[in-house]
């Protein structure tokens, strides 16, 4: 297994809940915070652990957890440890299998993988995170869920940066205001200032690199996919180890990546155009 596939999730915790638009009020909102807590934990949590993390009164928390367990969103084992519920898998399997964007992109991702021999990703922006919707790899059978579904920061990934480059100025400012700039490697942007400079450049050239910014030794080149009104829909990227992907090679691959993105856009227009 290549090193970048076994990427540990600890880095993910820095995200907090960067996916939802943050609505921690209302019955559902509060329950989702709990679900986030448990799913983001490195190990199953005891009642008391959650109590200290959630800062809710004991009685309240207990009932909330009971409800989540009753719905299959959490599971409570015999030792009183709460883990994510498997019903989530069923939901996810369905949302993935029927996702129109992914279905349209799929053949083009496969073509791009064939052309370059490296790993290809499809990602979308949700909140401040990039969620990988699909991944096409060459050699080894993919350990599913290994990357798909994972949320990564937008400020240090290729897909993330092309996403930001298409955002209207004010949305960009709003989004970055909520980002916690964790320094994953020496190359990670440490502040909005340096990031913004690169974003403008990316907006001009139409593609972005990840120069080992999220993980040492891993590079990528990404291109955006947008709708008629230039709204960002998602991004395609080619990812691989730095020893194999020189910056020169990556720069050459900007062309096929953008072509693949273009074909996906074409597919979206054919499929969705008439209805809009």
Partner DNA sequence: GTGAATTGTTCCATTATTTGGAACTGAATT
Partner DNA sequence: AATTCAGTTCCAAATAATGGAACAATTCAC
Positions in the binding site for a second copy (CB under 8 A): 9, 19-21, 23, 26-29, 31-32, 35, 39-40, 42-44, 67-68, 70-73, 78-79, 83-100, 124, 126-127, 129, 131, 133, 135, 137, 140-142, 144-146, 148-151, 275-276
Question: Pattern 30-49, binding to DNA, x per CB under 7 A?
Answer: x---------------xxx-
- Name the minimum Å distance from CB 38 to DNA: 14
Pair 175, 185: CB distance under 8 Å? no
Q: With contact defined as beta carbons under 8 Å apart, do 199 and 172 qualify?
A: yes
28 contacts DNA (rule: CB under 7 A): yes
Contact assessment for residue 219 and residue 200, using Cβ atoms and an 8 Å cutoff: no
Tell me the closest approach of the beta carbon of residue 25 to DNA, in angstroms.
5
For tokens 């597919």, what's the residue?
267
Q: Which does 48 bind (CB under 5 to 8 A by kind): DNA, a second copy, none?
A: DNA
Q: How many positions of this chain bind DNA (CB under 7 A)? A: 19
Cα separation, 273 vs 169, whole angstroms: 27
Q: For residues 54 and 156, which CB has a smaller minimum distance to DNA in the complex?
A: 54
Alpha-carbon distance values, 21 to 32, 178, 248 (Å): 12, 11, 38
Please identify, among the stretches 21-29, 86-94, 159-167, 179-187, the one whose residues bind DNA according to the rule CB under 7 A. 21-29
Residue 34 or 162: which CB sits closer to DNA?
A: 34
x/- map, 57-96, DNA, by CB under 7 A: xxxx-xxx--x------------x----------------
Comparing CB distances to DNA, the nearer of 27 and 140 is 27
**Triad 129, 132, 136: Cα angle to 5°:** 160
């Amino acid at each position: 297994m290549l090193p970048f596939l076994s990427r540990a999730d600890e880095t993910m915790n820095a995200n907090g809940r960067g996916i939802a638009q943050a609505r921690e009020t209302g019955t559902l909102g509060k329950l989702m915070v709990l679900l986030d807590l448990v799913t983001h934990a490195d190990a199953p949590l005891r009642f008391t652990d959650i109590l200290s993390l959630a800062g809710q009164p004991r009685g309240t928390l207990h009932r909330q957890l009971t409800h989540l367990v009753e719905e299959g969103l959490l599971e409570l084992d015999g030792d009183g440890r709460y883990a994510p519920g498997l019903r989530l898998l069923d939901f996810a399997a369905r949302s993935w299998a029927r996702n129109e964007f992914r279905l349209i992109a799929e053949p083009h991702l496969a073509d791009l993988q064939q052309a370059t021999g490296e790993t290809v990703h499809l990602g979308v922006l949700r909140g401040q995170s990039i969620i990988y919707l699909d991944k096409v790899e060459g050699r080894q059978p993919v350990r599913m869920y290994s990357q798909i579904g994972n949320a990564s920061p937008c400020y240090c990934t290729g897909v993330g940066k092309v996403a930001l480059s298409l955002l209207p100025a004010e949305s960009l400012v709003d989004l970055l205001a909520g980002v916690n700039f964790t320094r994953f490697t020496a190359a990670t942007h440490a502040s909005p200032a340096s990031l913004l400079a690169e974003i403008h450049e990316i907006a001009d050239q139409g593609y972005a690199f990840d120069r080992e910014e999220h993980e040492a030794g891993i590079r990528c080149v990404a291109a955006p996919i947008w709708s008629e009104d230039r709204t960002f829909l998602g991004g395609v990227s080619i990812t691989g180890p730095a020893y194999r992907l020189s910056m020169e090679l990556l720069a050459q691959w900007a062309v096929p990546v953008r072509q693949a993105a273009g074909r996906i856009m074409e597919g979206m227009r054919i499929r969705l155009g008439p209805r809009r």
